[in-house]
Amino acid sequence: MSYKILTAEFLHETNTFSRIETDAQAFHDCYFLTAAEAISERGERNTELAGFLDCGKKYGWQIDHVLSAAAGPSGKITAAAFDWLAEPIVSAARDQHYDGILLGLHGAMVTDFCEDGEGELLQRLRAVTGDKLPIAITLDLHANVSRKMCALANIIVSFKTYPHIDMRETGAHAGAILQRSLQGEIRPRTIHAACPMLEEVNGARTDSGPMIEWIRAARRWEQRDDVFAVSINGGFASADIAEVGPTVLVTGQGDMEAHRAFAKSLAAEIWRHRHDVLNDYLDVNAAAAIAAGFVADKGPLIIADYADNPGAGSYGDSTNLLRALLEAGVTGACLGPLVDGETVQQLLQHQPGEIVQIKLGGKMDPGFGGGPLDLPVELISLSDGHYVGGGAMIGGLSRSFGPTAVIRVAGIELLITTVAQQLLDLQQFRCFGIEPLSRRVVAVKSMQHFRADFEPIADRVIVCDSGALCTPNYKQLTYTRVARPIFPLDAELDDPAMPLPG
C-alpha cells in the first residue's frame, strides 16, 4: 500500500533579544522554496528534506511537499510571516487526506504573538487532522522543546551532531519511525525531561566533552525494542521564554516510566556537568595578542568570535574583535563576515582600488560588541554575495550574503555583507577571492559550526567573547520570562553538589 505523506520544512531559531523582527523578507533572504524548487535545491543535499525523500523512495510513499523556508536567526517572527508559511501547510492537511505528516522544524521559534511557534503550528495542524494522524518532526540539536510539542507530535528526532552534519540522516530516521507507525507495527509517543538551565553548558558540542558519551547512551537506549528515538537537545539560550533549556526526549512505547527515568538520568548528567565549560573564552585583547605573535606553521590561527555569531541571532556587526586586531597590528589576516549593508551601499559608489573613509559596523546595538569604527579602507571587490557551499554542512547549497564588499584595512581583509550569516564554510571566503589557507589569521563569526570546515586547515583554534549579543555571559542580558530559578542566572543553583531539581 502506498502511503500519502505531507512534508514541509519551516525553520527558525528566534533570538528574542534581537532588535530585528523576522518578516517575510527575512525568509526570502535565507530561503523560501516552493515544492519543486525545494526538491531541486535540497532534495539531494544534506537536508532533512533529502532524508524525507529517501524514505519516500524506500517505502513507495506519495509525497506532497508543501514548502521549505528558513530565516537566519533573528528576532521574533511577525504574525503575518508566520501565517504566510503556516497556512499552506495547515490547509494542505485540511483539504486532502494524508496518512502521515513529516515536518522539518528547528524547535526555537518564537513569534510576536506566542512563545512556542512549533507548538502553535502543531496545534493548528491537530485542529484539522484530529488526534489519530501520525505526525513526525525533526528538530535542531539547539531546540527548546515544549511539553506541547511532545504532546502534539508522536515522533520527534533531533540532530545528534554539532557541527550539524546529520540533517539527512535525521530526516530519514524520523521517516522510518513514521513508516512503522503507518503500518500499525508501533504506536510511538514522545516524553521529555528538562533541566532548569538556559542551555547545555557547552552549547551541545558533540566533538569533545561529555556529550560524546551522552549521545552514545542515547544510541544504546534506541536499541531497545520499545524505543525508536532518543534526542538530547542542548537548548537555545538566547530565548527569553518559559520553556527554555536542555531537554532529553524519548520517542517510544510500552513502559514509558522506564523511558522517563532514562531521560531524567541523562538530564541529571547534563545538570551535574553544568560548570564544566570546554571553551576558554578569551577577551578580544588576549585573542589579538595571540594573533599578533602567531607563527603559522601548519596553517592559520582560527579565531572564533563566539558572541557575534549570526547563526544564533547576533547582528554580526560587532567591532570589538576587529578593533583589537587593528590595535595589536595583526597582519596577514582575514575576518568575516562584518554585517553592514549601509557601508556596502556606500562602497558600491566606488571602484576597486579606491581608498574610502567609512564608519564600519557597531550600528545595531553598540552596547553589545562595540560601536562603529572610523576607518580609511581600500576597496578590493564588490559582488552580489552569492555563493555555493562546499563543506559538510552546506555543500552544494546556494546562499547569498546580499550585496557584499571585500575591503582591506592595515593587514586585514574584511568580508562586508548585507545579510547576516554565520561563517562556517571555506567557500564563504573563497567565492569572494579570500583564500583562508594563505592567511596567517582567520577570524570567523561563529560559535562551533566553523569547526567542520576550518578545523582541518587550522594550526590552532581559539574562541573569544567580544561582548556581542550572543555573549556566553548571560548575566549581560535581561531575562524576564524564563522560569526561575535557572542556572547560571541564579546563585542558589551554583552549588556543584546540588542534584537536578524536580
Positions that interact with Zn ion (CB under 5 A)? 140, 142
CA 459 to chain centre: 26
Q: How far is the CB of 278 from Zn ion (least distance, A)?
A: 16
Our CB check for Zn ion shows the closer of 68 and 161 to be 161
Our CB check for Zn ion shows the closer of 144 and 146 to be 144
**Sign of torsion, CA 429 434 435 438?**
negative
Please list the residues that pair with 11 across neighbouring strands.
70
Our CB check for Zn ion shows the closer of 142 and 439 to be 142
Dihedral-angle region of residue 316 (phi above 0 means left; psi in -120 to 50 means alpha; beta otherwise):
left
Q: How far is the CB of 357 from Zn ion (least distance, A)?
A: 39
Please report the beta strands in 162-226, taking only residues with DSSP state E, as ranges in sequence order: 189-194
Our CB check for Zn ion shows the closer of 116 and 140 to be 140
Q: How far is the CB of 3 from Zn ion (least distance, A)?
A: 30
Our CB check for Zn ion shows the closer of 154 and 448 to be 448
Give the integer Cα–Cα distance in Å for 454 and 447.
12
Residue nearest to Zn ion (CB): 142
Check: CB of residue 157 under 8 Å from CB of residue 229: yes
Nearest to 237 by CA among 161, 313, 339, 320: 313
Q: How far is the CB of 5 from Zn ion (least distance, A)?
A: 25
Q: How far is the CB of 449 from Zn ion (least distance, A)?
A: 8
Our CB check for Zn ion shows the closer of 9 and 140 to be 140
Q: How far is the CB of 47 from Zn ion (least distance, A)?
A: 14
Our CB check for Zn ion shows the closer of 207 and 226 to be 207
Cell of 454: 576550518
Q: How far is the CB of 140 from Zn ion (least distance, A)?
A: 4
Nearest to 147 by CA among 123, 176, 124: 123
Q: How far is the CB of 92 from Zn ion (least distance, A)?
A: 27
Q: How far is the CB of 332 from Zn ion (least distance, A)?
A: 32
Beta-carbon count within 10 A of 485 CB: 12
Our CB check for Zn ion shows the closer of 26 and 143 to be 143
Q: How far is the CB of 141 from Zn ion (least distance, A)?
A: 5
Residue 376: strand, helix, or coil:
strand
Q: What single string gives the DSSP state of each residue in 6-51?
A: EEEEEE-BB-TT-SS-B-HHHHHHHEEEEHHHHHHHHTTSSSHHHH
Residues 6+ apart with CB under 8 A from 373: 319, 322, 323, 326, 359, 360, 361, 362
Our CB check for Zn ion shows the closer of 140 and 199 to be 140
Q: How far is the CB of 156 from Zn ion (least distance, A)?
A: 15
Cis-peptide, bond into residue 163, ω within 30° of zero: yes
Residues 151-179: b if buried by 16+ CB within 10 A, e if exposed = bbbbbbbbbbbbbbbbbbbbbbbbbbbbb
Residues 127-150: b if buried by 16+ CB within 10 A, e if exposed = eebeeebbbbbbbbbbbbbbeebb
Cell of 364: 545595531
Our CB check for Zn ion shows the closer of 106 and 126 to be 106
Check: CB of residue 23 under 8 Å from CB of residue 82: no
Our CB check for Zn ion shows the closer of 99 and 305 to be 305
